[in-house]
Each structure stands twice: as structure tokens, then as C-alpha cells.
């Protein structure tokens, strides 16, 4: 993949193009779905087709780059938490906030999975970010001990679709907050599952 | 809308065509999304295009008919519950089970809403089915008193996307059950929200 930030620092204009393409891709995927024409993304970014295809030869490399940036943001949120046992909540807060402007990805995990290597990368990076944060939260008793990293992913996916839905409602923001609280309640050990009550 | 079951009983072959078209529409919408070509639905149903367009002149009338059938099933589940205070759980069980084979509708509530009258009809019918069941469950103390009918809709939507995701995983069925339990835990008054604990 040409998208390897580590290998060579991008020149300023290349970085601008990259950022513009990713911002445009988020917009276009959100409004038209993941099968939207790549030309629409180049147009919205204000760059030529050739630039888009040179930087991101396939749709999946573009998707992978968006996820790279998102995981960087989640990782920064985790590191920024004052108390490591609260890092998971910082990750979830950040993810839920990003979902407000990042609506095109539900398809990716339902009927339109990306190439297997892209999906594996996303899963691996997700685990790297969430595993230690979840373990710390569970050790501190902030999260039910039976919750898995995959289930944190499911919670994010579910909140993603709820967020996309709530944009269509006038009282959407209040409903979005309520739904976040409902999902956090489900993770709360003070409201332990039936099995643990017995 | 030509789709008015009440006005005239369909002849047997017309009923067969209708059922075949709805079954095909569910399949095609699930695999290709809600913008799938209607011709593909006619083909899969084994009927001519003319038959499809006569019965369902627009994509939205087809979608509305699918929801009619689904709401009939939810209503039957609610009526079939021995204890009316458990009708809500019968509705949820049935909805979650239907979602296993009915994967195309997340889009409808996110980035591709149907015509306003269709959406209003769906919402109205949803309220008619869920309102009394939710009230009975709350009166009996089976569901948190602060939960709204709209939030039951959100729970169904979230479970819909989780179900679509879990089809892509080998251990999907076990994870689907766990996710259902998580969501039901969130509704459980024994695990009341923070505000009620205080």
C-alpha cells in the first residue's frame, strides 16, 4: 500500500491532499454509501482523479486510511485519560463523537466487508487499542468482567447505526445521549447480568 | 396504494405472486441493499416485470408491504403471549429472530429514508404494536420505567445491525445471543440507571 506514513514524511502539499481526500471520502461515503463513485470524492476534495488514484489505488486503501486516522484518535484519547482505568470510557466517548460525522461505515461490517487483509488490519488495530483499556476498566471494577473486546466493538457498531438514525430526528441529540447511557448501563457491573446475581 | 389487503381478498395465484415478490425483495435488499434493481427482485421471484410494477408501482410500496407483514408478525407475537406483561419480550424475540433473515433495512433508518408517508406509516404502526406492550411490561416492573417506545425502536435497530455483522463471524450465533442479553440487561429495572439508584 502506498499509504505508509512511517516510511517517508509527506511533503506539505501531499499531506494537504491526503487530508482533503480523507475528509471528502468521509463526507461522500456518509451521504452516498461505501459504493459511491471515487470520482465524486476527488471532485469534493478538489484534486484530480490521478492524484486520488496515485495515493489510494483502491477503494479499500482509502477506507483503511480513514480507519488508521480514527484509531490514532482513539489511541490518543486512551493515552490522554488521567486514570488508565477510565481509558475505555475516553475511547468510547471519542468514538461516539466521531460517529456524528462519520456515518458511512456500518455497511463495512454488515453486507459489504472490505478485502480480508483490510478487515484483519482493522480488527487487529482495534484489539491493540481496546484490549488494554478494557482490561484496566475491568480490573478497577468499572466494567462487567464478562464483557469482551469484540463486544465493545459491537457496542460501537450499534451506537454508529443509532447515531445515523438520530440525525433524522429533531430531538436526535437528546436521544443519542440517552442511547449512549443505555449502552453504558449494559456494561456497568453495578447492574450485573442475571448469571452473576445468582 | 394498490397494496390494500383489506379491500379485496387476493386470488390464490395473486397471493402467491405477492408472497414470492416480498420474499425475493427481502433477499435482494439484504444482499444488495435497498437500491437494488427492482428487475432483480422480479427475476428472483420468477414473475414478470409487469406483475411486479402492477402490484408494487414504487420501491417504497414494496418496502411498506414488507413492513406490513413484519408488523403483523409482531402483533401476533404480542397477542400470543400468555402474560400481557411479557408481550414486549415476545415482540422483541420475534423481531430479533426476523432480523436474522431480514438484513436490508438498516439503511432505511439511517441514510436512505423512504417517502415521508411510508416512514410515518411505519412509525405509527410501530407505536400501535409497542406502546401497549411496553406500558404493560413497565406496570409489571419488567422494564425500566424511563424507557420510551422510541427507545425500543432504537434497540431493534441496533440489534439489526449487530445481527447483520454477526453473520460474518463463525461464532456469530453465540455472539448474537450475548448481544441480545446485553440489550435486555440495559432495559432491566433490577439494573436501574444511575439516577434511580441515588
* pLDDT tens digits, one per residue of A127-158: 999 999 999 999 999 999 999 999 999 999 99
Q: How far is CA B156 from CA A186, A193, B93, B105, B167, in A?
A: 15, 20, 10, 11, 17
Predicted ipTM beyond 0.90: no
Q: Nearest CA of chain A to the CA of B161: how many Å?
A: 6
Answer whether A157's CB lies under 8 Å from A96's CB. Answer: no
Q: How far is CA A62 from CA A6, A120, B33, in A?
A: 17, 15, 22
Q: What is the mean pLDDT of residues A88-109?
A: 88
Among chain B residues, CA nearest to A100: B110
CB–CB contact A160 B161 (8 Å) = yes
Residue B47 has φ and ψ, to the nearest 5°, of: -125, 165
Q: Within an 8 Å CB–CB cutoff, is residue B109 touching chain A? A: yes
pTM given for the model: 0.86
Give residue B14's pLDDT band: very low, low, confident or very high (50, 70, 90): confident
Q: Which residue has the higher pLDDT, A148 or B101?
A: A148
* pLDDT tens digits, one per residue of B113-128: 888 899 899 999 999 9
> Is A116 exposed, middle or buried (CB count within 10 Å of its CB: 0-12, 13-18, 19+)?
exposed
CB–CB contact A162 B158 (8 Å) = yes
Q: Write out chain A residues lying below 8 Å of B159, CB-based.
A: 158
Q: How far is CA A51 from CA A9, A38, B185, in A?
A: 17, 12, 50
3-state helix/strand/coil string of chain A: CCCCCCCCCCCHHHHHHHHHHHHHHHHHHHHHCCCCCHHHHHHHHCCCHHHHHHHCCCHHHHHHHHHHHHHHHHHHHHHHCCCHHHHHHHHHHHHHHHHCCCCCCHHHHCCCCCCHHHHHHHHHHHHHHHHHHHHHHHHCCCCCCCCCHHHHHHHHHHHHHHHHHHCCCCCHHHHHHHHHHHHHHHHCHHHCCHHHHC
Residue A117: count other Cβ atoms within 10 Å of its Cβ. 11
* pLDDT tens digits, one per residue of A7-41: 456 688 888 899 999 999 999 988 888 889 999 99
Residue A8: count other Cβ atoms within 10 Å of its Cβ. 8
Residue B192: helix, strand or coil by DSSP? coil
Chain center to CA of A24: 16
Mean pLDDT of chain B: 88
Chain A with chain B: Cβ pairs closer than 8 A: 105
**Smallest Cα–Cα separation from A99: which of A24, A166, A173, A159?**
A159
Q: Write out chain B residues lying below 8 Å of A181, CB-based.
A: 193
Q: How large a percentage of chain A has pLDDT more than 90?
A: 68
Give residue B84's pLDDT band: very low, low, confident or very high (50, 70, 90): very high
Q: Nearest CA of chain A to the CA of B198: how many Å?
A: 13
Answer whether A161's CB lies under 8 Å from A119's CB. Answer: no
Among the partner-chain residues A160, A168, A191, the one whose CB lies closest to the CB of B185 is A191
| Statement: residue B168 has pLDDT above 60 | yes
C-alpha–C-alpha distance, residues A42 and A47, integer Å: 5
Q: Write out chain A residues lying below 8 Å of B192, CB-based.
A: 191
Chain center to CA of A142: 22
| Statement: residue A113 has pLDDT above 70 | yes
What chain A holds in terms of domains, given with CATH numbers, is 10-57 (1.10.10.60), 59-191 (1.10.357.10)
Q: Which residues of chain A from 128 to 167 reach within 8 Å of chain B, CB to CB?
A: 150-151, 154-155, 157-162, 164-165
Instruction: Select the residue from B111, B171, B183, B198 to test the A interface by mutation, using most A Cβ atoms within 10 A.
Output: B111
pLDDT confidence of residue B33: 81
Q: How large a percentage of chain B has pLDDT more than 90?
A: 68
Give residue A182's pLDDT band: very low, low, confident or very high (50, 70, 90): very high
* pLDDT tens digits, one per residue of B16-40: 899 999 999 999 988 888 889 999 9
Amino acid at each position: 500500500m502506498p499509504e505508509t506514513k512511517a516510511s517517508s514524511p509527506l511533503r506539505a502539499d501531499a499531506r494537504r491532499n491526503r487530508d482533503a481526500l480523507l475528509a471528502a471520502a468521509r463526507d461522500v461515503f456518509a451521504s452516498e454509501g461505501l459504493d459511491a463513485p471515487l470520482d465524486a470524492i476527488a471532485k469534493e476534495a478538489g484534486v484530480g482523479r490521478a492524484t486520488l488514484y496515485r495515493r489510494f489505488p483502491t477503494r479499500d486503501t482509502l477506507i483503511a486510511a480513514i480507519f488508521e486516522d480514527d484509531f490514532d484518535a482513539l489511541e490518543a484519547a486512551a493515552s490522554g485519560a488521567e486514570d488508565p482505568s477510565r481509558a475505555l470510557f475516553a475511547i468510547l466517548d471519542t468514538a461516539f463523537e466521531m460517529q456524528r460525522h462519520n456515518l458511512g461505515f456500518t455497511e463495512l461490517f454488515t453486507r459489504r466487508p472490505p478485502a480480508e487483509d483490510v478487515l484483519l488490519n482493522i480488527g487487529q488495530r482495534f484489539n491493540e487499542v481496546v484490549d488494554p483499556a478494557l482490561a484496566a476498566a475491568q480490573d478497577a471494577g468499572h466494567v462487567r468482567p464478562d464483557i469482551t473486546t469484540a463486544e465493545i466493538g459491537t457496542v460501537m457498531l450499534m451506537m454508529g447505526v443509532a447515531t445515523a438514525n438520530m440525525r433524522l430526528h429533531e430531538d436526535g441529540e437528546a436521544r443519542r445521549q440517552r442511547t449512549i447511557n443505555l449502552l453504558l448501563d449494559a456494561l456497568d457491573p453495578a447492574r450485573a447480568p442475571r448469571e452473576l446475581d445468582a
